[in-house]
Structure 1
């Protein structure tokens, strides 16, 4: 990436109201966000299942919030 490209990128971020970064799995643990591999029992299937999200979104979000706050 050239300096001009980086400057444009920084300008876009500085002028944005919201910024979202889509990253791979390796970024969360070093950043202090717990991974989901330690989960067992029903919570693990609730969080890791797209079907669970579609079936009961409220339960999915409650379980996710609970486990990410550990």
Structure 2
């Protein structure tokens, strides 16, 4: 499956994607997503037989 199609499908699902990299098979998310959203992405990957690793950025902690 083409990276543009994966990006488009995930965006339609409400997922904020930064980049889909087909060389390293990585999907980098634009910002932190909930466990439910991650599960939805993982289900999409499984259904489409895609072997991609997710990079979900962690929220930045406020510095006092």
TM-score by length of 2: 0.31
Which is helix-richer, 1 or 2?
1
